[in-house]
Amino acid sequence: MSTPNENLPVTHMSDVYPGINPQPYFDGQIYAGKVVFVTGASRGIGSEIALFYAWAGASLSLLSRAQNALDKTKKSILSQAPRCQIITFAVDVCESQAMKKAIDEIATHFGKIDIVVAAAGRAEVYTKPFTEYDPDNWWKTVEVNIRGVYNTAHFALPHLSITSGYFVVLGSTGAQVRLPFASAYPLSKLAVHRFVEYIKAEQPNVKAFAMHPGGILTEMTKDYELIQRFLVDSPQLPAATLLRLTSGKMDWLNGRYVSANWNLDEGFGKKRSWNRMLWSIVCTFLFSSAFFLAIYDSWTRAMVTRSMIFKCL
């Protein structure tokens, strides 16, 4: 399981709270004129995120593998946000050329892309060591969660660079967990957490985040009996968090992992306060690890040598 040093010392949130209250975004139509592209948008977390952006005034591009599911999601959103412009694409995120075509069509249709949310993902119910699991099935999880995100970023980032936009990938606290029999999902999420750091390094006009959406009961997680008791967060939590994260108020978190469970009002409003919390975590790790012991040993040896030199003088 995750160790205490891997999470920030802030209050754990399970539902929408005042700091991410979406109502001002809805009332002010803050995202009017913005084009939001969501993968994995036909159900669960992805569809909830799309709905919140629609309520806030954005135009939507929704992508998933199943057209029937996309049609239902589009119909549902339009019933609640009738003025929203929506186009859909039935595409597998692992298919590079199909992704290129879809993203090019989005840019042509709307004239731009402002925000991309890579919510498409895959997880398997693992019950045995990876050495006993079907290699192709294990790899498919890794492929969807990494290649799917890469394909999305590869073709969308040039458009986001023009609009100084946002790229958000749904990460997971699972990247911090060493849970037996579940290696593919955590490993793939760990990779995309690092991937957003490369986006920051290579795309100066784009803000990128890896966001853990919280522990949410969805179609993908409903069969995970071992973690059912942890799946208590509302699907509105990540949707509301994203409205704040892509509003321009949190751009200094560019290139970092953020959890929707973190209370963004506790130190996050001020960059210096948050960095101080992060630094305290780093220091705790360093001074409780072999790293500190090695430094201490080197320092001790240096002091002994210095003492011997002075005795000889």
- Give per-residue pLDDT as tens, 122-161: 877 667 777 878 889 889 999 999 999 999 999 999 999 9
Report the interhelical angle of 236-245 vs 44-55 (nearest 10°): 50
Fold entry, domain 4-268: Rossmann fold (3.40.50)
- Write down the mean pLDDT value for the chain: 85
Q: Please check the confidence at residue 65 and state whether its pLDDT lies above 90.
A: yes
What are the residue boundaries of the structural domains of the chain, listed by start? 4-268, 270-313
Rounded to 10 degrees, what is the CA torsion of 298, 302, 304, 310?
180
Sheet of 35-39: strands edge to edge?
86-90, 59-64, 35-39, 115-118, 166-170, 207-212, 256-259
Task: Give the three-class secondary structure for 121.
Answer: coil
Q: 84 vs 5, which has greater pLDDT?
A: 84
Can you read off the two tokens belonging to residue 254? 């560019």
Q: State the SS3 of 157-210.
A: HHHHHHHCCEEEEECCHHHHCCCCCCCHHHHHHHHHHHHHHHHHHHCCCCEEEE
Q: State the SS3 of 62-94.
A: EEECCHHHHHHHHHHHHHHCCCCCEEEEECCCC
85-123 CB burial, b ≥16 within 10 A, e <16: ebbbbbbebbeeebbeebbeebbeebebbbbbbbbbbbb
**pLDDT at position 177:** 75
Q: Please check the confidence at residue 103 and state whether its pLDDT lies above 80.
A: yes
Q: Please check the confidence at residue 5 and state whether its pLDDT lies above 50.
A: no
Q: Please check the confidence at residue 26 and state whether its pLDDT lies above 60.
A: yes
Task: Report d(CA 305, CA 174) in Å as an integer.
Answer: 47
**Residues recognised as catalytic:** 185, 189
**Quick one: pLDDT band at residue 29, thresholds 50, 70, 90?**
very high
Q: Decide if 120 contacts 93 (C-beta within 8 A).
A: yes
Task: Report d(CA 247, CA 146) in Å as an integer.
Answer: 26
Extended beta strands in 216-275, E state: 256-259
Segment 202-208 mean pLDDT: 98
Q: 31 vs 220, which has greater pLDDT?
A: 31
Residue 166 bridge partners (DSSP): 115, 207
**pLDDT at position 311:** 45
**pLDDT at position 87:** 99
Can you read off the two tokens belonging to residue 224? 């995970």
Task: Report d(CA 191, CA 202) in Å as an integer.
Answer: 17
Q: 212 vs 277, which has greater pLDDT?
A: 212
Segment 51-57 mean pLDDT: 99
Closest CA to 62 of 130, 141, 121, 116: 116
Task: Report d(CA 35, CA 86) in Å as an integer.
Answer: 10
Q: Please check the confidence at residue 14 and state whether its pLDDT lies above 90.
A: no
Q: Which helix (H) or strand (E) holds 138?
A: helix 135-142
Q: 188 vs 227, which has greater pLDDT?
A: 188
Closest CA to 58 of 77, 72, 73, 39: 77
pTM value is: 0.82
